[in-house]
A and B are shown apart, each in its own frame.
Chain A
Amino acid sequence: MKYQSQQVAYAYFVCAMALFAVQVLGGLTIGWIYVQPNFLAETFPFHIIRMIHTNALIVWLLLGFFGAAYFMVPEESEREIWSVKLAYIQLALMMVGTLGAVGSYLMGIHGGREFLEQPLWVKFGILVAALIFLFNISMTVLAGRKTAVTGVLLMGLWLLSLLWVFAFINPDNLSLDKMYWWFVVHLWVEATWELVMAAILAFLLLKLTGVDREVIEKWLYVIVATALFTGILGTGHHFYWIGLPGYWQWIGTIFGTLEIVPFFLMMSFAFIMVWKGRRNHPNKAALLWSLGSATIAFFGAGVWGVLHNMHGVNFYSHGTQITAAHGHLAFYGAYVAMNLAIITYAMPLLKGREPYNQVLNMGSFWLMTGGMAFMTFTLTFAGVIQTHMQRVLGDYYMEVQDGLALFYVMRFVSGIAVVVGALLFIYSILVVRRREVVAPGAANPAPAKSDPVPGE
């Protein structure tokens, strides 16, 4: 850690990890309700726990992005953060808002637009927190060295904050409501968040492989260009069946299909940079998460997205378990794994130690990734059967669901693997064990024992 104010990131990452635990435990609970539908039905019904599951996810990913920005920007700009105090105030605001939202969900107070259920005061709190963040980080960047990494990161964060305005716009006309709702939901995860993801990936590859900045940043611009060129009009693949004009079917199909391009490029980018690498960095776990994230994002967001976003297919598959399968793997690969990559990279530096718990951390990668892959396959199979029975044969929803019970049991089991993997990750990040559980070989720069870095 070169700059004292990077320490802010530590608090952000710890809070993010706490909400990560809440998110996966909430997910496991509703996974169990699919298997045993009477569970908690009278006290905390499905819809309440699902809100906590999705909201905790979104907030912890954002906290991770904020933390990543506070970690990356000082190094990129070559100066301290403009105000450390503001950064902590922002975090406090986010946490008060989140806990306030969870508390009100448990009491049955919530809005009714999916993912945007937060009470109005929480929405304003998020807005204020975002403005504080943008001000703080922009002041830092403007005063210092300007790089493509900070430029793209900032553009992503500015645009996603700007789009949050649509969380406040809720027309009485349902079709308009849905159209503007996607301005937050789609243009976050399939456009602006990709900018943040690509910037973090570029930063990590810069540090881990030591490849020339010129090469990395050129790739970065090409990736984010394809992300926005496809992602903006790709919004059309959500506009097929909600009362909007028919031309969206072709715009959405063409640009939606092309949305796989930035993910393919990110995957290629990651592997080629490692191939051209000039440095054998000791933090192998961070490298695994970086490569893993780019790869799983390609499959989850890219392949599973194209699988069902062409209108001829989507006419039948829309709103089935296929969507759920895609949503889970896409979020995991693109945003969960990239957050865990930067956390894995940054935490030893923030603690002033050499990389620690590398083996446990990499174990958690395979547990979580294996679990998510299994979950995605079972939900995809369930979705294909559901599509055929319900949309082709015309069987009623609940009859079809009863026929899918086995898949939901398998999904629950894979969920256990994910939760165990997540808890193992949190343990390996927060609790420093001095010795690795498996000693590295002689050619591996990863340390067998983690000592404090001298002079830090």
Chain B
Amino acid sequence: MAEFLTKSRARNIFYGGSIFFVVVFLALTVQSHRYVVSTSTVGMPLSDAVVHGKHVWERNSCINCHTLHGEGAYFAPELGNVMTRWAVQDDPEGAYEMMDGWIEAQPSGIEGRRQMPYFELTEEDKRGLAEFLRWADQTDTQGWPPNDAG
């Protein structure tokens, strides 16, 4: 390898190859962006309530305990399919009621059990959060998770 692969050849392969892979990656990114917008997330409109719910999700940093589509902190249950688990995926009112009941019951205070803090949320917040999680649940995630346990 010593004679064939000189330092300048190695450098040229590095720069040339990297540019090639960046271009391929950008092309696939554009295609993926379009796919998300036109195919995988169109099962439910991206309404104001969903967007509001996403902001509630972010403001309270739910991701630093829970996972969502498998990404997050692994300290608390997966929420990408929680509306299916609660059997309210197709029932906005039921989803809100479950969410309201859950949020208001925290923290459980049970000794030796992981504690979800109490978050002070308005009705609009809780409705938004329920809608956001229903929206996440309808996303085509290639069949993941393997079962309702999440």
**Which A residues fall within an 8 A CB radius of B?**
34, 36-38, 41-42, 45-48, 50-51, 110-114, 117, 148, 170, 172-179, 214, 217-218, 221-222, 224-225, 228-229, 232-233, 235, 238-249, 251, 315-316, 318-321, 323-324, 390-392, 394-398, 401
Contact = CB atoms under 8 A, between A and B. Distances in A.
SS class, residues of chain A in contact with chain B: helix
A28 to B, nearest CB: 15
A245 B10 contact: no
Contacts of A395: 149
Given A148-B7, A242-B71, A395-B149, 16 more contacts: A34-B75, A38-B111, A46-B65, A172-B51, A174-B132, A176-B33, A214-B7, A221-B10, A222-B5, A225-B17, A240-B144, A241-B144, A245-B35, A315-B146, A390-B150, A397-B78
6 contacts: A47-B65, A117-B61, A225-B17, A229-B18, A233-B21, A233-B24
Contacts of B78: 319, 397
Nearest to A181: B71
Nearest to A170: B58
B146 A319 contact: no
Contact of A42 (B13, B61, B107): B107
Contact of B6 (A51, A218, A319, A392): A218
Contact of B36 (A175, A232, A316): A175
A228 B69 contact: no
Interface residues of B, number: 70
Interface of B: 5-7, 10-11, 13-14, 17-18, 21-22, 24-25, 28-29, 31-33, 35-37, 40-41, 46, 50-51, 54, 57-65, 67-78, 107, 111-115, 117, 132, 135-136, 139-150
Contacts of A37: 112-115
Contacts of A318: 70, 144-145
A232 B27 CA distance: 12
